[in-house]
Amino acid sequence: MRALQPVRGTQDLLPEAARRHRRVVESARAAAELYGFAEMATPIFEFTEVFARPIGEHTDIVAKEMYTFNDRGGEEVTLRPENTAGVIRSVISNGLAQSVPLKFFYSGPMFRYERPQKGRFRQFHQIGVELIGVAQPQADIEVIALGCRILDALGIGERVELELNTLGDPASRASYRQALVTYFSARVAELSEDSRRRLERNPLRIFDSKEETDQRVARDAPPFADYLNAESRDFFDQVRAGLGRLGIYNRVNPRLVRGLDYYTHTAFEFVTGDLGAQGTVMGGGRYDGLVELMGGPALPGVGWAAGIERLAMLTAAPPPPRRPVAVVPIGEAAEGAALTLAEVLRNSGCPVDLSYSGNVARRMRRANHINARIAVLIGEDEIARNVVTLRDLDSGEQNEVPMDQSLSELRARLQAFYS
Protein backbone atom coordinates (compact mmCIF):
# COMPACT_ATOMS: atom_id res chain seq x y z
CA MET A 1 0.00 0.00 0.00
CA ARG A 2 1.43 3.38 -1.00
CA ALA A 3 1.94 6.05 1.64
CA LEU A 4 -1.05 8.36 1.95
CA GLN A 5 -0.45 11.74 0.33
CA PRO A 6 -2.67 14.79 -0.22
CA VAL A 7 -4.46 14.89 -3.56
CA ARG A 8 -2.41 16.64 -6.23
CA GLY A 9 -3.04 20.36 -6.18
CA THR A 10 -4.09 20.44 -2.53
CA GLN A 11 -2.06 21.24 0.55
CA ASP A 12 -2.22 20.90 4.30
CA LEU A 13 -2.32 24.20 6.14
CA LEU A 14 0.04 23.42 9.00
CA PRO A 15 0.21 25.90 11.89
CA GLU A 16 2.60 28.47 10.36
CA ALA A 17 0.73 28.50 7.02
CA ALA A 18 -2.58 28.65 8.88
CA ARG A 19 -1.38 31.72 10.79
CA ARG A 20 -0.48 33.42 7.50
CA HIS A 21 -3.91 32.61 6.06
CA ARG A 22 -5.64 33.83 9.20
CA ARG A 23 -3.72 37.11 9.09
CA VAL A 24 -4.85 37.72 5.49
CA VAL A 25 -8.48 36.97 6.29
CA GLU A 26 -8.57 38.92 9.53
CA SER A 27 -6.87 41.97 7.97
CA ALA A 28 -9.34 41.87 5.07
CA ARG A 29 -12.33 41.40 7.34
CA ALA A 30 -11.32 44.37 9.52
CA ALA A 31 -10.83 46.62 6.48
CA ALA A 32 -14.12 45.49 4.91
CA GLU A 33 -15.98 46.42 8.10
CA LEU A 34 -14.59 49.97 7.82
CA TYR A 35 -16.31 50.25 4.44
CA GLY A 36 -19.59 48.78 5.66
CA PHE A 37 -19.23 45.35 4.03
CA ALA A 38 -20.98 42.58 5.98
CA GLU A 39 -19.51 39.09 6.03
CA MET A 40 -21.45 36.26 4.41
CA ALA A 41 -20.78 32.67 3.33
CA THR A 42 -22.29 30.53 0.59
CA PRO A 43 -22.15 26.71 0.28
CA ILE A 44 -18.98 25.33 -1.27
CA PHE A 45 -21.11 23.44 -3.79
CA GLU A 46 -24.09 24.62 -5.82
CA PHE A 47 -26.26 23.28 -8.59
CA THR A 48 -24.04 23.28 -11.68
CA GLU A 49 -26.28 25.79 -13.46
CA VAL A 50 -25.29 28.47 -10.93
CA PHE A 51 -21.80 28.52 -12.44
CA ALA A 52 -22.40 27.19 -15.95
CA ARG A 53 -24.96 29.84 -16.90
CA PRO A 54 -22.90 32.97 -16.08
CA ILE A 55 -19.45 31.56 -16.87
CA GLY A 56 -20.56 29.94 -20.13
CA GLU A 57 -20.96 26.32 -21.16
CA HIS A 58 -18.10 26.51 -23.67
CA THR A 59 -15.48 28.24 -21.53
CA ASP A 60 -12.41 26.38 -20.28
CA ILE A 61 -13.58 26.81 -16.70
CA VAL A 62 -16.85 24.96 -17.30
CA ALA A 63 -15.57 22.46 -19.86
CA LYS A 64 -12.24 21.55 -18.25
CA GLU A 65 -11.78 22.95 -14.76
CA MET A 66 -14.96 22.55 -12.72
CA TYR A 67 -15.36 19.70 -10.24
CA THR A 68 -18.84 18.55 -11.29
CA PHE A 69 -20.57 15.34 -10.18
CA ASN A 70 -23.97 13.80 -9.57
CA ASP A 71 -24.84 13.39 -5.90
CA ARG A 72 -26.69 10.39 -4.51
CA GLY A 73 -30.01 12.00 -5.33
CA GLY A 74 -29.05 12.35 -8.97
CA GLU A 75 -28.61 16.13 -8.82
CA GLU A 76 -25.68 17.60 -10.75
CA VAL A 77 -23.65 19.81 -8.42
CA THR A 78 -20.32 21.61 -8.70
CA LEU A 79 -17.70 22.65 -6.19
CA ARG A 80 -17.52 26.41 -6.53
CA PRO A 81 -14.75 27.59 -8.89
CA GLU A 82 -15.39 31.19 -7.81
CA ASN A 83 -17.80 32.91 -5.45
CA THR A 84 -19.45 35.81 -7.27
CA ALA A 85 -22.07 33.56 -8.88
CA GLY A 86 -22.84 31.99 -5.49
CA VAL A 87 -23.28 35.40 -3.88
CA ILE A 88 -25.64 36.51 -6.66
CA ARG A 89 -27.62 33.24 -6.35
CA SER A 90 -27.92 33.94 -2.63
CA VAL A 91 -29.19 37.47 -3.27
CA ILE A 92 -31.85 36.15 -5.64
CA SER A 93 -32.94 33.10 -3.64
CA ASN A 94 -33.12 35.02 -0.35
CA GLY A 95 -35.12 37.89 -1.85
CA LEU A 96 -32.46 40.50 -1.08
CA ALA A 97 -32.75 42.38 -4.36
CA GLN A 98 -35.24 44.81 -2.78
CA SER A 99 -32.70 45.83 -0.14
CA VAL A 100 -29.95 47.30 -2.32
CA PRO A 101 -27.32 48.51 -2.02
CA LEU A 102 -25.84 45.26 -0.72
CA LYS A 103 -22.22 45.06 0.42
CA PHE A 104 -20.76 41.62 1.14
CA PHE A 105 -17.35 40.30 2.18
CA TYR A 106 -16.49 36.58 1.98
CA SER A 107 -13.61 34.17 2.41
CA GLY A 108 -13.24 30.47 1.81
CA PRO A 109 -12.07 27.62 -0.44
CA MET A 110 -12.62 27.41 -4.21
CA PHE A 111 -11.93 24.47 -6.54
CA ARG A 112 -10.58 24.24 -10.09
CA TYR A 113 -9.01 21.31 -11.88
CA GLU A 114 -5.96 22.93 -13.43
CA ARG A 115 -2.23 22.38 -13.53
CA PRO A 116 -0.80 23.13 -10.09
CA GLN A 117 2.08 25.60 -9.94
CA LYS A 118 3.50 28.22 -7.61
CA GLY A 119 0.61 30.12 -6.07
CA ARG A 120 -2.01 28.03 -7.90
CA PHE A 121 -3.77 25.02 -6.40
CA ARG A 122 -6.78 22.88 -7.22
CA GLN A 123 -8.22 23.74 -3.84
CA PHE A 124 -7.37 27.36 -3.20
CA HIS A 125 -8.75 30.08 -0.97
CA GLN A 126 -10.05 33.54 -1.71
CA ILE A 127 -11.21 36.68 -0.04
CA GLY A 128 -13.61 38.87 -1.98
CA VAL A 129 -16.19 41.63 -1.93
CA GLU A 130 -19.34 42.32 -3.92
CA LEU A 131 -21.19 45.66 -4.04
CA ILE A 132 -24.60 45.18 -5.64
CA GLY A 133 -27.14 47.78 -6.66
CA VAL A 134 -24.97 50.87 -7.28
CA ALA A 135 -24.55 52.02 -10.88
CA GLN A 136 -22.39 55.08 -10.14
CA PRO A 137 -18.58 55.12 -10.49
CA GLN A 138 -18.31 55.67 -6.72
CA ALA A 139 -18.92 51.94 -6.24
CA ASP A 140 -15.94 51.04 -8.43
CA ILE A 141 -13.76 53.55 -6.59
CA GLU A 142 -14.83 52.21 -3.20
CA VAL A 143 -14.14 48.54 -3.87
CA ILE A 144 -10.74 49.37 -5.38
CA ALA A 145 -9.89 51.60 -2.41
CA LEU A 146 -10.87 48.77 -0.06
CA GLY A 147 -8.60 46.38 -1.94
CA CYS A 148 -5.77 48.89 -1.73
CA ARG A 149 -6.30 49.30 2.02
CA ILE A 150 -6.12 45.54 2.56
CA LEU A 151 -2.87 45.26 0.60
CA ASP A 152 -1.41 48.14 2.64
CA ALA A 153 -2.53 46.50 5.89
CA LEU A 154 -0.68 43.33 4.84
CA GLY A 155 2.46 45.35 4.15
CA ILE A 156 2.54 44.63 0.42
CA GLY A 157 0.95 47.79 -1.02
CA GLU A 158 4.29 49.00 -2.40
CA ARG A 159 4.94 45.65 -4.09
CA VAL A 160 1.85 45.72 -6.29
CA GLU A 161 0.61 47.94 -9.12
CA LEU A 162 -3.01 48.70 -9.96
CA GLU A 163 -3.86 48.17 -13.63
CA LEU A 164 -7.15 49.49 -14.99
CA ASN A 165 -9.12 49.29 -18.19
CA THR A 166 -12.65 50.02 -19.32
CA LEU A 167 -14.87 47.56 -21.13
CA GLY A 168 -17.42 50.28 -21.87
CA ASP A 169 -21.17 49.94 -21.86
CA PRO A 170 -22.97 47.21 -23.89
CA ALA A 171 -23.15 49.43 -26.98
CA SER A 172 -19.42 50.14 -26.93
CA ARG A 173 -18.65 46.49 -26.26
CA ALA A 174 -20.78 45.38 -29.25
CA SER A 175 -18.94 47.78 -31.57
CA TYR A 176 -15.57 46.58 -30.34
CA ARG A 177 -16.56 42.94 -30.65
CA GLN A 178 -17.37 43.44 -34.31
CA ALA A 179 -14.04 45.20 -34.85
CA LEU A 180 -12.21 42.27 -33.27
CA VAL A 181 -14.09 39.74 -35.39
CA THR A 182 -13.02 41.63 -38.50
CA TYR A 183 -9.38 41.92 -37.37
CA PHE A 184 -8.84 38.38 -36.09
CA SER A 185 -10.73 36.82 -39.00
CA ALA A 186 -8.19 38.35 -41.38
CA ARG A 187 -5.38 36.61 -39.43
CA VAL A 188 -7.19 33.46 -38.39
CA ALA A 189 -4.49 31.22 -39.82
CA GLU A 190 -2.05 32.58 -37.23
CA LEU A 191 -4.31 31.79 -34.24
CA SER A 192 -4.23 28.69 -32.09
CA GLU A 193 -7.07 26.21 -32.24
CA ASP A 194 -8.46 27.48 -28.93
CA SER A 195 -8.43 31.08 -30.12
CA ARG A 196 -10.17 30.13 -33.35
CA ARG A 197 -13.00 28.76 -31.23
CA ARG A 198 -12.95 31.91 -29.12
CA LEU A 199 -13.23 34.01 -32.26
CA GLU A 200 -16.60 32.41 -32.97
CA ARG A 201 -17.94 32.68 -29.43
CA ASN A 202 -16.20 35.62 -27.73
CA PRO A 203 -13.22 37.26 -29.45
CA LEU A 204 -12.25 39.28 -26.35
CA ARG A 205 -11.06 36.06 -24.74
CA ILE A 206 -8.27 35.79 -27.32
CA PHE A 207 -6.47 38.43 -25.24
CA ASP A 208 -6.38 35.90 -22.36
CA SER A 209 -4.47 33.32 -24.42
CA LYS A 210 -1.00 32.35 -23.19
CA GLU A 211 0.05 31.08 -26.64
CA GLU A 212 2.89 33.17 -28.04
CA THR A 213 1.38 33.25 -31.54
CA ASP A 214 -1.95 34.49 -30.16
CA GLN A 215 -0.22 37.16 -28.10
CA ARG A 216 1.72 38.36 -31.13
CA VAL A 217 -1.46 38.72 -33.20
CA ALA A 218 -3.34 40.34 -30.30
CA ARG A 219 -0.68 43.03 -29.87
CA ASP A 220 -1.73 44.62 -33.15
CA ALA A 221 -5.48 44.40 -32.52
CA PRO A 222 -7.42 47.67 -32.51
CA PRO A 223 -7.60 49.24 -29.03
CA PHE A 224 -10.88 49.26 -27.12
CA ALA A 225 -10.52 52.99 -26.51
CA ASP A 226 -11.27 53.69 -30.18
CA TYR A 227 -14.77 52.22 -29.78
CA LEU A 228 -15.88 53.80 -26.53
CA ASN A 229 -18.86 56.13 -26.64
CA ALA A 230 -18.99 59.37 -24.66
CA GLU A 231 -20.87 57.82 -21.71
CA SER A 232 -18.29 55.07 -21.31
CA ARG A 233 -15.38 57.49 -21.49
CA ASP A 234 -16.99 59.73 -18.88
CA PHE A 235 -17.58 56.78 -16.52
CA PHE A 236 -13.95 55.68 -16.76
CA ASP A 237 -12.69 59.24 -16.31
CA GLN A 238 -14.73 59.54 -13.11
CA VAL A 239 -13.29 56.30 -11.76
CA ARG A 240 -9.72 57.42 -12.43
CA ALA A 241 -10.36 60.90 -11.03
CA GLY A 242 -11.81 59.42 -7.84
CA LEU A 243 -8.84 57.13 -7.39
CA GLY A 244 -6.56 60.11 -7.95
CA ARG A 245 -8.31 62.05 -5.20
CA LEU A 246 -7.61 59.15 -2.86
CA GLY A 247 -3.95 59.03 -3.86
CA ILE A 248 -4.29 55.58 -5.46
CA TYR A 249 -1.86 55.39 -8.36
CA ASN A 250 -3.02 53.36 -11.36
CA ARG A 251 -1.93 52.51 -14.87
CA VAL A 252 -4.20 51.90 -17.85
CA ASN A 253 -3.65 48.48 -19.44
CA PRO A 254 -5.63 48.41 -22.71
CA ARG A 255 -5.22 44.62 -22.96
CA LEU A 256 -6.88 43.95 -19.61
CA VAL A 257 -10.25 42.47 -20.55
CA ARG A 258 -13.04 40.25 -19.25
CA GLY A 259 -14.40 37.88 -21.85
CA LEU A 260 -17.91 37.41 -20.48
CA ASP A 261 -20.66 39.64 -21.83
CA TYR A 262 -22.09 40.67 -18.47
CA TYR A 263 -18.90 42.57 -17.59
CA THR A 264 -19.05 46.32 -18.30
CA HIS A 265 -17.01 49.44 -17.63
CA THR A 266 -14.21 49.01 -15.08
CA ALA A 267 -11.87 46.02 -15.08
CA PHE A 268 -8.88 46.05 -12.74
CA GLU A 269 -6.07 43.95 -11.32
CA PHE A 270 -3.43 44.44 -8.65
CA VAL A 271 -0.30 42.78 -10.03
CA THR A 272 3.20 42.06 -8.73
CA GLY A 273 6.46 40.95 -10.25
CA ASP A 274 7.40 38.96 -7.14
CA LEU A 275 5.44 35.78 -7.90
CA GLY A 276 6.66 34.91 -11.37
CA ALA A 277 3.96 34.08 -13.91
CA GLN A 278 1.21 34.17 -11.27
CA GLY A 279 1.45 37.93 -10.89
CA THR A 280 -2.20 38.84 -10.27
CA VAL A 281 -2.98 38.98 -6.55
CA MET A 282 -6.38 40.67 -6.75
CA GLY A 283 -8.71 41.18 -9.69
CA GLY A 284 -12.22 42.32 -10.37
CA GLY A 285 -14.55 44.58 -12.23
CA ARG A 286 -18.10 45.70 -12.90
CA TYR A 287 -20.69 43.06 -13.86
CA ASP A 288 -23.90 44.98 -14.51
CA GLY A 289 -25.52 42.16 -16.50
CA LEU A 290 -24.91 39.23 -14.15
CA VAL A 291 -27.90 39.41 -11.80
CA GLU A 292 -30.33 39.57 -14.71
CA LEU A 293 -28.51 36.73 -16.52
CA MET A 294 -29.03 34.53 -13.44
CA GLY A 295 -32.77 35.19 -13.34
CA GLY A 296 -32.91 38.19 -11.03
CA PRO A 297 -33.80 41.82 -11.68
CA ALA A 298 -31.51 44.13 -13.65
CA LEU A 299 -29.06 45.18 -10.91
CA PRO A 300 -25.56 46.60 -11.34
CA GLY A 301 -22.66 45.09 -9.43
CA VAL A 302 -18.92 45.42 -8.92
CA GLY A 303 -16.44 43.41 -6.89
CA TRP A 304 -13.12 41.65 -6.71
CA ALA A 305 -11.51 38.45 -5.46
CA ALA A 306 -7.98 37.80 -4.22
CA GLY A 307 -6.08 34.57 -3.71
CA ILE A 308 -5.18 34.05 -0.07
CA GLU A 309 -2.27 31.75 -0.94
CA ARG A 310 -0.67 34.38 -3.15
CA LEU A 311 -1.20 37.15 -0.62
CA ALA A 312 0.22 34.95 2.14
CA MET A 313 3.34 34.28 0.06
CA LEU A 314 3.99 38.02 -0.18
CA THR A 315 3.40 38.91 3.46
CA ALA A 316 5.99 38.82 6.21
CA ALA A 317 5.72 35.97 8.68
CA PRO A 318 3.15 36.84 11.36
CA PRO A 319 4.33 36.91 14.97
CA PRO A 320 4.29 33.48 16.60
CA PRO A 321 1.63 32.70 19.20
CA ARG A 322 2.39 33.50 22.82
CA ARG A 323 4.68 30.98 24.41
CA PRO A 324 2.64 28.75 26.71
CA VAL A 325 2.87 27.97 30.40
CA ALA A 326 3.71 24.31 31.00
CA VAL A 327 1.91 22.88 34.04
CA VAL A 328 3.92 19.88 35.22
CA PRO A 329 2.46 17.55 37.88
CA ILE A 330 5.01 15.63 39.96
CA GLY A 331 3.59 12.27 40.93
CA GLU A 332 0.15 10.76 40.51
CA ALA A 333 -1.32 12.57 43.48
CA ALA A 334 -0.73 15.93 41.79
CA GLU A 335 -2.52 15.10 38.52
CA GLY A 336 -5.92 16.36 39.71
CA ALA A 337 -4.49 19.55 41.21
CA ALA A 338 -2.54 20.22 37.96
CA LEU A 339 -5.69 19.73 35.88
CA THR A 340 -7.58 22.26 38.01
CA LEU A 341 -4.69 24.73 38.05
CA ALA A 342 -4.30 24.59 34.26
CA GLU A 343 -7.96 25.47 33.77
CA VAL A 344 -7.81 28.33 36.28
CA LEU A 345 -4.81 29.80 34.44
CA ARG A 346 -6.59 29.48 31.08
CA ASN A 347 -9.54 31.32 32.58
CA SER A 348 -7.08 34.11 33.35
CA GLY A 349 -5.98 34.28 29.70
CA CYS A 350 -2.77 32.24 29.94
CA PRO A 351 -2.02 29.74 27.17
CA VAL A 352 -1.37 26.49 29.03
CA ASP A 353 0.03 23.13 27.97
CA LEU A 354 -0.69 20.25 30.35
CA SER A 355 1.38 17.21 29.51
CA TYR A 356 -0.55 13.96 29.72
CA SER A 357 1.91 11.35 30.96
CA GLY A 358 5.50 10.53 31.82
CA ASN A 359 7.95 11.36 34.57
CA VAL A 360 9.14 14.88 35.33
CA ALA A 361 12.10 14.67 32.93
CA ARG A 362 9.87 13.62 30.05
CA ARG A 363 7.33 16.33 30.79
CA MET A 364 10.07 18.96 30.95
CA ARG A 365 11.37 17.79 27.56
CA ARG A 366 7.85 18.33 26.27
CA ALA A 367 7.86 21.86 27.75
CA ASN A 368 11.12 22.66 25.95
CA HIS A 369 9.82 21.12 22.70
CA ILE A 370 6.79 23.42 22.60
CA ASN A 371 8.96 26.43 23.53
CA ALA A 372 7.12 27.07 26.80
CA ARG A 373 8.12 30.28 28.55
CA ILE A 374 7.74 28.98 32.09
CA ALA A 375 6.95 25.74 33.87
CA VAL A 376 4.66 25.51 36.89
CA LEU A 377 5.60 22.42 38.90
CA ILE A 378 3.20 21.01 41.46
CA GLY A 379 3.70 17.86 43.54
CA GLU A 380 2.57 16.36 46.83
CA ASP A 381 5.00 18.49 48.82
CA GLU A 382 3.83 21.69 47.08
CA ILE A 383 0.19 20.76 47.65
CA ALA A 384 0.86 20.15 51.35
CA ARG A 385 2.57 23.53 51.69
CA ASN A 386 0.08 25.31 49.40
CA VAL A 387 2.75 26.52 46.95
CA VAL A 388 3.88 25.90 43.37
CA THR A 389 7.37 26.06 41.89
CA LEU A 390 7.92 28.44 38.96
CA ARG A 391 10.83 27.61 36.66
CA ASP A 392 11.98 30.20 34.10
CA LEU A 393 12.75 28.03 31.08
CA ASP A 394 14.98 30.69 29.52
CA SER A 395 17.23 31.34 32.51
CA GLY A 396 16.70 28.15 34.53
CA GLU A 397 15.93 30.21 37.66
CA GLN A 398 13.16 28.88 39.85
CA ASN A 399 11.37 29.89 43.03
CA GLU A 400 8.27 29.07 45.00
CA VAL A 401 5.06 31.06 44.93
CA PRO A 402 2.35 30.75 47.58
CA MET A 403 -1.08 29.64 46.39
CA ASP A 404 -3.71 31.93 47.87
CA GLN A 405 -7.35 31.38 47.00
CA SER A 406 -7.39 33.95 44.18
CA LEU A 407 -3.96 32.96 42.85
CA SER A 408 -3.20 36.69 42.72
CA GLU A 409 0.55 36.35 43.29
CA LEU A 410 0.88 33.50 40.78
CA ARG A 411 -0.99 35.52 38.17
CA ALA A 412 1.20 38.56 38.87
CA ARG A 413 4.38 36.50 38.51
CA LEU A 414 3.23 34.95 35.24
CA GLN A 415 2.22 38.34 33.88
CA ALA A 416 5.70 39.63 34.63
CA PHE A 417 7.20 36.90 32.43
CA TYR A 418 5.14 38.05 29.45
CA SER A 419 5.56 41.81 29.88
| CA angle (267 as vertex; 262, 268 as ends), nearest 5 | 150
Is 167 strand, coil or helix?
A: coil
DSSP letter at 120 equals B
| CA angle (276 as vertex; 270, 265 as ends), nearest 5 | 25
Residue 407's pLDDT band (boundaries 50, 70, 90)?
confident
208-258 confidence digits (pLDDT tens): 787 888 889 888 899 888 999 999 999 999 999 999 999 999 999 988 887
35-93 confidence digits (pLDDT tens): 999 999 999 999 999 998 877 655 667 667 899 999 999 999 999 999 999 999 999 99
Give the type of residue at 312.
A
Q: What is the pLDDT of residue 257?
A: 82
Q: What is the pLDDT of residue 62?
A: 66
Class of domain 325-418 (CATH, top level)? alpha beta
CB-based contact 272:160 (threshold 8 Å) = yes
Residue 265's pLDDT band (boundaries 50, 70, 90)?
very high
Q: What is the pLDDT of residue 1?
A: 53
Q: What is the pLDDT of residue 416?
A: 78
Q: What is the pLDDT of residue 144?
A: 98
What distance in Å separates the CA atoms of residue 386 and residue 170, rounded to the nearest whole number?
Answer: 80
281-301 confidence digits (pLDDT tens): 999 999 998 999 999 999 999
Q: What is the pLDDT of residue 419?
A: 65
* Domain chopping of the chain, boundaries: 15-169+229-314, 325-418
Task: Give domain 15-169+229-314's CATH number out of 3.40.50.300, 3.40.50.970, 3.80.10.10, 3.30.930.10.
Answer: 3.30.930.10
Cβ neighbours for 230, distance < 8 A, ≥ 6 positions apart: none
Say if 15-169+229-314 and 325-418 have the same CATH topology.
Answer: no
Q: What is the pLDDT of residue 412?
A: 81
Give the type of residue at 405.
Q
> What would the mean pLDDT of 129-135 be, rounded to a whole number?
98
